[in-house]
Amino acid sequence: GLVTDPTGAVIANATIVAKNKATGVEYSTVTDQSGYYTFASLPIGTYTVTAEAQGFKKFIRENIVLEVGQRARLDLTLEVGEIAETVIVEAQTPLLSTQDASPGAVVQNRLVSDLPLSMRNWDDLMSLIAGVQGDRYTEEGGATAAGRTGGVNVHGVRSLQNNFILDGVDNNSISTNVQELTTQVVRPSVDSIQEFKIITNPYSAEYGRSPGAAITVTTKSGTNEFHGTAYWFGRNDIFDATSFFLNRAGAKKAKNRQNQFGFNVGGPIVRNHAFFFFDYEGTRIRRGVTRLGNVPLPNERIGDFSAPGYAKIFDRVGDCRAKVPDAFNPDGSFKDNKIPPECIDPVAKRILELVPLPNLPGSGPLRNVFNFLRTPTLIDDTDKFTVRGDWQINANNNVFVRYTFSDRFRYVPGVFGGIIDGTSTSAFGRLFMKGHSAAIGWNRTLGPRVLNEFRIGWGRNGSHGVQDPFGKNTLAEFGILGVRDDPLYSGGLPAIRIQARGGTQTIPAGQGGGLDHLGSPVFLPKFQFTNQFQWWDMMSVTAGAHQFRFGMDVRLPMRNIYLDLPALRGDWTFDGNRTGIGMADFLLGYPSAAQLTNPHVVDARIWMASFFWQDDWKVTPKLTMNLGLRYDFTTWPYEGRDRLTNFDPRTGQRFTAAPFPGFERSTVGKSLVRSDKNNIAPRIGFAYRVTPNTVLRTGYGRFFMLFERAGSEDQLGLNLPWVVNNVVTAPNPNTTANNMRLRTGFNLSLDPSAVDPRNVRLRAVNPEAVIPTVDQWNFGIQRLLPGNIIATIEYVGTKGTHLSVLRNLNQQFFNPDGTPTGIVPYPNLGPIEYRDNMGNSSYHGMEVTVEKRFSRGLGFHGAWTWSKSIDYAMEHLFTGGSGSFLQNAHNIRERRGPSDFDYRHRFVFAYNYELPFGRGRAYLNQGAASHILGGWRISGITVLRTGRPFTIVASANNTAIGGPRGGGMVSALADCLRDGTLPKDQRTVDRWFDTTAYRVPSPPRLGTCGRNTLYGPGLVNFDFALARTFEYFGEGRRLEFRWEMFNAFNTPQFGLPDRNASSGSFGRIGSLAGDPRVMQFALKFYF
């Protein structure tokens, strides 16, 4: 701030002291010749600021609140007089953001503590901020990221590109596919959080690594007084509502038992110098999950498709024709549309014996849609603790140390459970997850205007996932041949994908994602063990109206040892093209595609280095300019043993880091991708105080995505000759994949020297790839309104360039009319899963925020976002409404459309209100009424948003459009005959859009539908909490009782409809994006 006398003249050499009221620690500085003073770094908290200068009265400003990441300004005017005289001013108004242009908000500790938080983590807090798009954590399958935390889109940036900072150090997980089920290394209890801040456009040059929001969390520290809490939060399904689809099916509500308990304590070790804080929290969850899906009808299991509604079936392969020639009509179709029993594959028959019969009437013309319901129990148990120490060594040095540990076990059952399982996502099954995080910070004052801040961060995750039936059987016991049994992966069945075609349905499909095949997930078992260190140092120098900051941010080493491969137990697809019906293909044992992989462990490593410079220049007392420059460098992932292989599309050759016969030698370094050394990021911002209560802000910044992940899809360590991912597809409907049958098992070689490279998937990255870039800008106005209400209106824009896109570089070419040619670019190779920098994006948004800091019993925060986001491809680990891969890998422009997270409108309102009754309140503050009606508080969160978009696909054409080197990397589109949007009053869960407006292209060719042309249901959610505080336990002690309701009005929150024109449930909604009404009760004791 600036110190002046009553005439406005500056006062040099004034002594300024800031005293932390909780710890008693004092920080002092003096004003320079221009009258400015700066405290470069202060812990968050409430301060008393004192100013003294010869010839002036002593000035004291009380209760200055500093928030996490805040750059506050406090100008002081000293009155002429004796220094023995004192002027005391009570701070009553919140501080406007006058020192930087970055939009964002702080969620105050009072809101963190008092709001009803669904899972008592900070995902609900992130959603309070304007510009943030994403639904909260749920186990329901129709959510944006079911079962995963921390994935939100901010200002059109991909959800895995936010930067999580815990106590000033990196808290971002680095597994290949978010196997930790969170984007953070650790997630401390909300009761250990002092403050939480999101900077949605972090223009300061000290921020980097990721272009999304900077989410800064500060843990609590001890004070001069012993303080703590002990708590229990509990849920029981007897208080909950029944979910929409269970209600509709007449089934009883799912089980829901949740207990969360913990305590924390903090206090002095040495008063005014050393403090400690400890927090523990345990969570035990037993929750029923809805598994609504499809199972074969009794007639379908025996090959009887004679009923009206089934397609005519043929034996185009010919096994059954040769065995039972009398079973066929002259046109080659089966007589009576029935498969003879002697033609049914014995392995298929045994597998179907494990699949339960229908237990619901079902829907659709053949009553085989959504005809099975199960509510198995999910288990999710966590224990975690945080310990922190703070030490004020002397006036010039302070140190803190913090360590957090979490241990989590999670079991998510499939549709059926047991050997048959019935799930395809590796987020299901049994997952064991441990997280460690440590931070050391040392602030040293080197002079009245020089401060150095040093941080060391360490994070480690260990996650190990196995399928539900892991270790329970071998494949040989079921007569499945060709796969070596191994205790590393044995248990359950291969993935068996029976696709909807000709009247039968995808088994089990149904509600939510990740349920589209029999057997267990192809990517289980898996494990990932990550380890990362961060070394960060920043020097702050104040020179007149300038505060310079410069430093470095080095992340070294960063390592991930992982097993993350598909189809260790095998994978079969039955697309129905050999007979005309998907189930008939399976019964005859005719796979259209298959894959098998050998186990291999990768030792992936990277390192990052960044250097930054920032000048916060107080051009005038009203105008602050923020100038910054940052340089970022990161290696592409390399392997500890140099076991990597890449592909150069210009030469058509594969190349490796280590010499290997038959492969070229890398010319671009050991990571096989040329390092991008041109990552210079300018930053600029202006904040102009038009009036004491009005601030204009504008800024611009460039950011780089230093770390990306698209699952294991683009991992170069998963290639020949190190890994054999043998993938075969039938070249036409008259044969099977590699001439394979179910009864004869897999005939796929895993010998790298013998395998045909045309049958092996090749994962590749453009050898000349560059780091994706995001440019961000904003312009806004902030105004302090009567009643200490701050209103902000902001325009925000972002542009993404060189964004990563996955495509099959060896997909066949197409004729001008969209029909496939069967000609591939590289005939000597198989499918090439290629990451390229072909994508771009744009986002424009208007954001309005109204906030009242908690005072006089009331605090609230409201935010409205009106935005539009467009891009070329979805984020590959995001549960979106368009497929991961292109329909036509040679024409990316057909994928341009609304982003999968394009919610046009989103409104959120959070409030906290203490009723004005009882002792110390305005009304009924004496007598019995004060005890009965006093101490009550209400709080809540309201969220309203519009729907997200989705694309109409035709999966039955995937094989034909993918071609001979398809490898499953295609999302075939349907034909759009007209706009299928229905009027609002005609939309139902059974018919969300007009399905007659779309068709499956026949014969197979490129579909005409665009990307994300329809929008799904919106979401309405009201969370409410009623709390009563009992203050009868002595000074500083109180007991709080809470009753909380999530989705208080039990409004159904629907997921996207089935968007597959090849599916029998096309156009129907079968999943939820949020939970039904859930109640929670709590007791919390403060001391």
Residues 255-287 have pLDDT tens digits of 899 999 999 999 999 999 999 999 999 999 999
pLDDT in tens, 237-255: 999 999 898 888 888 888 8
pTM of the complete model: 0.89
The closest of 145, 221, 226, 225 to 188, measured between CA atoms, is 221
Quick one: pLDDT at residue 181? 85
Q: How confident is the model at residue 511 (pLDDT cuts 50, 70, 90)?
A: low
Q: How confident is the model at residue 95 (pLDDT cuts 50, 70, 90)?
A: low
CB 767 within 8 A of CB 673: yes
**What amino acid occupies position 624?**
T
Whether 713 shows a pLDDT value over 70: the answer reads: no
Q: Is residue 84 part of a domain?
A: yes
Q: Cα 728 from chain centroid?
A: 33
The span from the CA of 162 to the CA of 176, in Å, is 16
- Token readout for 143 is 């959510």
What is the average per-residue pLDDT within 328-339?
Answer: 95
CA dist 858 to 123, 913, 920, 921, 1022, Å? 23, 5, 15, 13, 19
Whether 91 shows a pLDDT value over 60: the answer reads: no
Quick one: pLDDT at residue 386? 98
What is the average per-residue pLDDT within 42-49?
Answer: 88
pLDDT in tens, 735-773: 999 999 999 999 999 999 889 899 888 999 999 999 999
Q: How confident is the model at residue 375 (pLDDT cuts 50, 70, 90)?
A: confident
Q: Is residue 20 part of a domain?
A: yes
CB 687 within 8 A of CB 697: yes
Q: How confident is the model at residue 145 (pLDDT cuts 50, 70, 90)?
A: low
Whether 34 shows a pLDDT value over 70: the answer reads: yes
The closest of 707, 635, 533 to 163, measured between CA atoms, is 707
The closest of 792, 906, 780, 795 to 849, measured between CA atoms, is 792
The span from the CA of 140 to the CA of 375, in Å, is 12
Q: Is residue 18 part of a domain?
A: yes
The span from the CA of 524 to the CA of 468, in Å, is 9
What's the start-to-end Cα distance of the chain, in Å?
Answer: 37
The span from the CA of 426 to the CA of 520, in Å, is 9
Choose between 82 and 595: higher pLDDT: 595
pLDDT in tens, 778-817: 999 999 999 889 999 999 999 999 999 999 999 999 999 9
The span from the CA of 177 to the CA of 174, in Å, is 8
Domain ranges, residue 70: 3-90
What is the average per-residue pLDDT within 537-557?
Answer: 94
pLDDT in tens, 627-669: 999 999 999 999 999 999 999 999 999 999 888 888 999 999 9
Choose between 118 and 340: higher pLDDT: 340
The closest of 900, 745, 776 to 145, measured between CA atoms, is 900
| Beta-bridge partners for 641 | none
Quick one: pLDDT at residue 879? 67
Domain count, the chain: 1
* Average pLDDT score, the chain: 92
Q: How confident is the model at residue 96 (pLDDT cuts 50, 70, 90)?
A: confident
The span from the CA of 655 to the CA of 676, in Å, is 19
Whether 292 shows a pLDDT value over 80: the answer reads: yes
Q: Is residue 788 part of a domain?
A: no
58-72, 375-389, 534-548: least confident range: 58-72
Q: How confident is the model at residue 449 (pLDDT cuts 50, 70, 90)?
A: confident
- Token readout for 836 is 């390229």
Q: How confident is the model at residue 1046 (pLDDT cuts 50, 70, 90)?
A: very high
Q: Is residue 63 part of a domain?
A: yes
829-838, 848-857, 876-885, 1027-1036: least confident range: 876-885
Quick one: pLDDT at residue 157? 93
Quick one: pLDDT at residue 68? 75
Quick one: pLDDT at residue 308? 95
CATH number, domain at 48? 2.60.40.1120
Q: Is residue 289 part of a domain?
A: no
Q: Is residue 37 part of a domain?
A: yes
Quick one: pLDDT at residue 851? 93
DSSP of 576-643: STTTSSHHHHHHHT--SEEEEE----EEEEEEEEEEEEEEEEESSSSEEEEEEEEEEEEPPPEETT--
239: three-class secondary structure by DSSP = helix
What is the average per-residue pLDDT within 41-59?
Answer: 88
Element (H, E) at 868: strand 858-871
Largest CA distance in the chain: 116
Whether 873 shows a pLDDT value over 80: the answer reads: no
Choose between 959 and 530: higher pLDDT: 530
Q: Is residue 183 part of a domain?
A: no
The span from the CA of 797 to the CA of 155, in Å, is 7
**Distant-in-sequence, close-in-space partners of 245: CB < 8 Å, separation ≥ 6:** 290, 292, 511, 1070, 1072
Whether 908 shows a pLDDT value over 60: the answer reads: yes
pLDDT in tens, 643-652: 999 999 999 9
Choose between 228 and 109: higher pLDDT: 228
Burial class (CB in 10 A: 0-12, 13-18, 19+), 392: buried
